[in-house]
């Protein structure tokens, strides 16, 4: 159980030999729920995309295929993940369409209002406080920009709750909990979608635009 627990804990921050093994399985293992989550994205193409907690890098690659005119930034706090994501997307990096960075989602090394779309696949379970991290996402999004969260757990399925007891620092959130934290961070038009047969959820939120100033005679 000790080695198994150590291996599962690599989902949070892959490191060392076990981390490399975990990363080998991340891209194929997360592909189906990620592709399902992407179906909820707006059809109009963003110019700039940031994928937070990029893991093995497969999902940012798929996003840039989906939006061929966009440029992307992938961020992860694991140096191994950054290495893997860069290698997986070597062609996109070489073409100048993708930058891969080491960073903490609670203090992102990214410009304010620099992105039209931000995504988080299978990662918010491990974020160090939703309020602080969602505020950072709101900071880097342009007004009207979208934030997509995609999780394999809806916060209630027993399998994921069991993993929550094994993996240090893991927290499975319900759609309602995510919506509440997003609203507090200034997001609007929040939609929670659930898979018909699996406990997958996709939460799409839009950063609110500044209220227009009222005009008129005094």
**67-122 pLDDT, tens per residue?**
999 999 999 999 999 999 999 999 999 999 999 999 999 999 999 999 999 999 99
Q: Is residue 68 part of a domain?
A: yes
Q: Is residue 83 part of a domain?
A: yes
Q: Contact at 8 Å (CB) between 114 and 140?
A: yes
Confidence of residue 182 (pLDDT cuts 50, 70, 90): very high
2: left (phi over 0), alpha (psi -120 to 50) or beta: alpha
In whole angstroms, give the CA distance from residue 123 to residue 146. 17
Mean per-residue pLDDT of the chain: 93
Q: What is the CATH number of the domain that holds 197?
A: 3.40.50.150
| pLDDT for residue 216 | 40
Q: Is residue 3 part of a domain?
A: no
Q: Is residue 1 part of a domain?
A: no
Token pair 């950072």: residue: 136
Q: Is residue 19 part of a domain?
A: no
Q: Is residue 43 part of a domain?
A: no
In whole angstroms, give the CA distance from residue 183 to residue 71. 28
Domains in the chain, number: 1
Per the structure, the complete domain to which residue 146 belongs is given by: 48-207
Q: Is residue 28 part of a domain?
A: no
| Residue pLDDT, tens place only, 95-108 | 999 999 999 999 99
Q: Is residue 35 part of a domain?
A: no
CA 157 to each of CA 10, 12, 151: distance values in angstroms, whole numbers, following the listed order: 21, 19, 12
Strands, sheet with 115-121, edge to edge from the N-terminal-most edge strand: 98-102, 71-76, 48-52, 115-121, 141-151, 201-207, 187-194
| Residue pLDDT, tens place only, 11-55 | 889 999 998 999 999 999 999 999 999 999 988 789 999 999 999
């Amino acid at each position: 159980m000790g080695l198994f627990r150590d291996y599962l804990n690599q989902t949070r921050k892959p490191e060392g030999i076990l981390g490399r093994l975990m990363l080998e399985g991340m891209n194929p293992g997360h592909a189906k729920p990620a592709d399902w989550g992407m179906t909820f994205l707006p059809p109009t193409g963003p110019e700039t995309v940031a994928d937070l907690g990029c893991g093995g890098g497969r999902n940012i690659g798929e996003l840039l295929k989906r939006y061929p005119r966009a440029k992307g930034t992938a961020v992860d706090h694991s140096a191994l993940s950054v290495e893997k994501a860069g290698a997986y997307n070597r062609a996109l990096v070489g073409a100048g369409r993708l930058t891969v960075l080491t960073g903490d989602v609670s203090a992102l090394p990214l410009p304010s209002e620099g992105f039209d779309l931000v995504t988080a696949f299978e990662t918010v379970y491990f974020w160090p406080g939703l309020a602080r991290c969602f505020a950072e996402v709101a900071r880097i999004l342009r007004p009207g920009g979208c934030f997509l969260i995609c999780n394999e757990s809806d916060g209630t399925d027993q399998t994921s709750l069991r993993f929550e007891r094994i993996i240090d620092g893991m927290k499975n959130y319900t759609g309602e909990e995510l919506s509440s934290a997003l609203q507090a961070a200034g997001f609007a038009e929040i939609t929670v979608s659930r898979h018909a047969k699996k406990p997958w959820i996709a939460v799409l939120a839009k950063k609110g635009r500044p209220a227009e100033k009222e005009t008129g005679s005094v």
